[in-house]
Amino acid sequence: MIDSFLIELPVITTAPDPAASFSSHAVNLVNCGIIVLDADGRIVLWNRWMVTRSGRSAARVGGQLLLDVFPELRGSRVDSAVLAALIDGISTNVPQSQSRAPFPLREAGSLDGERIDQAVSITPFTDGKARLCMIEIRDVSGAAGRERQLLEHAESLRARSYVDGLTGIANRRGFDVALERELRRAQRHGGALALLLMDIDSFKAYNDHFGHQQGDRCLTTVAQALSGMLKRPADVAARYGGEEFAAILPDTSPEQARHHANAIRAHVAALALAHAPAAIREYVTLSIGVASFSPGGLQDAPALIEAADQALYAAKRGGRDRVVVHGAAALPAT
Ligand SMILES: Nc1nc2c(ncn2[C@@H]2O[C@H](COP(=O)(O)OP(=O)(O)OP(=O)(O)O)[C@@H](O)[C@H]2O)c(=O)[nH]1
């Protein structure tokens, strides 16, 4: 073992010269952890930073194998980097992004708090014939915390940018992304997919009669009712724009889609939301157009949307409060 065993202040060193004493002070003052290992992986230097963050004194760890002091390091990236340094003389950086907190170190003075985030460098060096290796540990908790906050913020912005601010269901952007995703899945697996476009009947009359704010409340109630009718995890309810809604129903045949659409229409009617006198019914109703993906027919999003839109307009022309399936006869309201 190397005989110059430098530890936390007061520094113990075999070298009585002032230069060595200054170096020892500097090693203890530096704002990062410094551990020096001898060729066998035993600790020969453990600075004060390490003492305050690990709760272990230099006297306790001096001469011990690093892996006995920190058994959890066995097989870790730090362990391999130490071997690479001591055997092959290779330096390694282990950034926080690769191994967040390899050493069980906590903020100075808090021995049961969260581990600090660490960036670790391992550098081999020689002292005479002996090969040693220095491990430097930096506390990067501040930077890592800021990075996490930024990521969370970006994630919440991204999530919000797919949600309609008024109704809380997916917005048009969320709809576009979901439709492309589900279409690709249906194309890959040869599965079924149905698209429903829905429009509140005579909504201009509703707004004119009850006012815009009440109109907004009506939109939210209908959106929540629609969303509540879609039970499968992959189903998507979206506000397509204005008073128009959409539903994407993966793994749903045209016949099942017609059935679902009628159930949604009946459910919204059953809410019995009072409508304006100028509307066709005393309560709020929906017209719904349905179109289905098929490998030999409607294959992409624009074709599917256009077909559902045509069916929706057929439902409007047919008298409203009804479902029309693209390519099939209109069903009157029941
Ligand atoms: N309150 C409210 N109204 C909206 C919103 N977006 C669109 N609208 C209203 O929805 C109404 C849609 O009217 P039209 O497109 O003429 O259709 P309609 O009166 O529903 O008639 P049909 O669709 O033919 O049954 C317009 O008066 C829009 O102002 C919104 O976010 N809030």
Domain spanning 162-325: which CATH class is it, in words? alpha beta
Distance of CA 320 to the CA centre of its chain: 42
pLDDT higher than 80, residue 2? no
pLDDT tier for residue 16 given thresholds of 50, 70 and 90? low
Q: 289 in helix, strand or coil?
A: strand
Q: Give how far the C-alpha of residue 8 lies from the chain's centroid of Cα atoms, to the nearest Å.
A: 43
Percent of the residues in the chain that have a pLDDT greater than 70, as a whole number: 92
Give the chain's end-to-end CA distance (angstroms, integer): 92
Provide the percentage of residues in the chain whose pLDDT is more than 90: 73
What mean pLDDT value characterizes the chain? 89
Residue 152: what residue type? E
Q: Residue 17 has what pLDDT?
A: 64
For residue 256, pLDDT over 90 is answered with yes
The CATH number of domain 6-145 is 3.30.450.20: yes
- The set of protein residues with a Cβ atom below 6 angstroms from ligand 1 is 199-205, 207, 212, 215-216, 219, 242-243, 316, 320
pTM: 0.60
Query: Mind listing the pLDDT tens digit for each residue in 282-326?
Result: 999 999 999 999 877 778 999 999 999 999 999 999 999 999 999
Residues that are catalytic: 243
Which residue, by CA, sits nearest to atom 28 of ligand 1?
A: 204
Residue 44 has pLDDT above 70, yes or no: yes
Query: Could you check whether the bond before residue 10 is cis, i.e. omega within 30 degrees of 0?
Result: yes
Residues 22 and 2 sit within 8 Å (Cβ to Cβ):
no
Edge-to-edge strand ranges of the sheet holding 193-200: 236-241, 244-250, 193-200, 286-292, 323-325
Calculate how far, in angstroms, residue 209's C-alpha sits from the geometric centre of ligand 1.
Answer: 12
**Mean pLDDT throughout 120-137?**
93
Residue nearest (by alpha carbon) to ligand 1 atom 13: 204
Q: pLDDT at position 18, please?
A: 65
143 pLDDT higher than 90: no
Going from N- to C-terminal start, the domains of the chain cover 6-145, 162-325
Alpha-carbon distance 322 to 198, whole Å? 10
Q: Indicate the SS3 state at residue 94.
A: strand
244, β-bridge pairs: 199, 241
Please give the pLDDT value at position 4. Answer: 42
Closest-CA residue to 91 (of 146, 51, 43, 136):
136
Residue 159: pLDDT band (50, 70, 90) is confident
Residue 304 main-chain phi, psi, to 5 deg: -65, -45
- Cα(329)–Cα(310) distance, rounded to whole angstroms? 13
CA of 242 to the centre of ligand 1 (A): 6
Contact present, 177 and 161 (Cβ < 8 Å): no
Among the residue ranges 18-22, 23-27, 134-138, the one predicted with the least confidence is 18-22
Tell me, yes or no, if the two domains 6-145 and 162-325 fold the same way.
no
